[in-house]
Amino acid sequence: MLHSITQSLIHSINMKLDYLDQLESEAIHIMREVAGQFERPALLFSGGKDSITLVHLARKAFRPGKFPFPLVHIDTGHNFQEALDFRDWLAESLGEKLIVRYVEDTIREKKLKEPTGRNASRNALQTFTLLDTIEEFEFDACIGGARRDEEKARAKERVFSVRDEFGSWDPKRQRPELWDTYNGKIHKGENVRVFPISNWTELDVWNYIKRENIALPSIYFAHDRECLLRDGKLLATAGGVIQREEADELVTRRVRFRTVGDISCTAAVESTADTLESVIAEIQATRISERGETRIDDQVSEAAMEDRKKGGYF
């Protein structure tokens, strides 16, 4: 008897999950809640490392079955070709359904006015296409790769974030969310944005990618690239999306992308890190946040992200 108690104690010491395993299990659990609670879910896929991580987690949640949702990409028309190629390759190799909708089409159909001038971006217009796509397919839940460590408004958002018919987030009407019980009950026309990696940090994502050996688009690693140097930020010339201004200096630098979004609002960082190990070492040493270093659209005001979320943005 004593022996067996000692045995079970020794045993229980080993029964501890590493923090990455805990985060992984939490994310898998959230994805399965989506599958169990909703009729028409979707996984919003941007081609960035966070949504690539989501796809990997979906495999862990549902294989050997198929994903209970399609991958949906809202293409601003300003994406890096490397990211688009990767997206197509990933969906194809997994045998999962990919739906792509274009901001370009929304602009034409709705006669939207494209932002012009300095640092103009289609990032805001994305919201229109996203809401149309949700309506077209009657999606009731959209899984996204947002993390709470990214930004102050995101730090307050629930894992299951209920949006009204206009996609708006109302921070004052958030549902209490207790234990790992998620309430996905909604009225017709509403939808829920679901964030399985809410509790992951940028470093957690990279450590997980390394541990799981997850493939990423090449632009996440150091490469030589032609860029415009503007206000200390390196903007890609690829695709001719960003118009050169008089003060811009045309340079070729060894760079990598820390986030991969729309070309018009994602800056490159100078780097020689060409392996996962060296990328992680660089992030551990960095003194600037992911969004602060590379996002051009958050820097408009203190509440920029909060305002965009209220408008239906992810």
- Chain Cα centroid distance, residue 106: 22
Report, in Å, the least distance between residue 292 CB and another protein.
Answer: 3
Alpha-helical segments (H) within 138-180: none
Query: Interaction with another protein in 191-210: which residues (CB under 8 A)?
Result: 198-199, 201, 203-204
Residue 185 interacting with another protein (CB under 8 A): yes
Query: Interaction with another protein in 121-180: which residues (CB under 8 A)?
Result: 148-149, 152-153, 155-156, 171-172, 174-180
Cβ burial of 258 (10 Å; 0-12, 13-18, 19+) is: buried
Pick from 98, 102, 107, 183: which binds another protein (CB under 8 A)? Answer: 183
Compare residues 159 and 228 and give the one whose CB is closer to another protein.
159
Residues linked to residue 237 through DSSP beta bridges, in sequence order:
none
Residue 40 interacting with another protein (CB under 8 A): no
Compare residues 29 and 244 and give the one whose CB is closer to another protein.
29
Report, in Å, the least distance between residue 85 CB and another protein.
Answer: 26
CB-CB neighbours of 62 under 10 Å: 17
Closest CA to 304 of 78, 152, 202: 152
Compare residues 104 and 149 and give the one whose CB is closer to another protein.
149
Residue 64 interacting with another protein (CB under 8 A): yes
Q: How many residues bind another protein (CB under 8 A)?
A: 62
CB burial of 227-248 (b: ≥16 within 10 Å; e: otherwise) equals bbebeebbbbbbeebbeeeeeb
Q: Please state the φ and ψ torsions of residue 225, each to the nearest 5 degrees.
A: -145, 145
Distances (CA, A) of 119 to 41, 63, 253, 267, 308: 34, 42, 21, 11, 17
Residue 97 interacting with another protein (CB under 8 A): no
Residue 218 interacting with another protein (CB under 8 A): no
Contact status, residue 204 vs residue 20, Cβ threshold 8 Å: yes
141-143, strands of its sheet edge to edge = 98-102, 71-75, 41-44, 141-143, 191-194, 160-163
Residue 19 interacting with another protein (CB under 8 A): yes
Report, in Å, the least distance between residue 273 CB and another protein.
Answer: 18
Q: Kindly list the residues in this chain that would bind another protein in the complex (CB under 8 A).
A: 12-13, 15-19, 21-26, 28-29, 32-33, 35-36, 59-66, 68, 148-149, 152-153, 155-156, 171-172, 174-181, 183, 185-187, 198-199, 201, 203-204, 286-289, 292-293, 302-303, 306
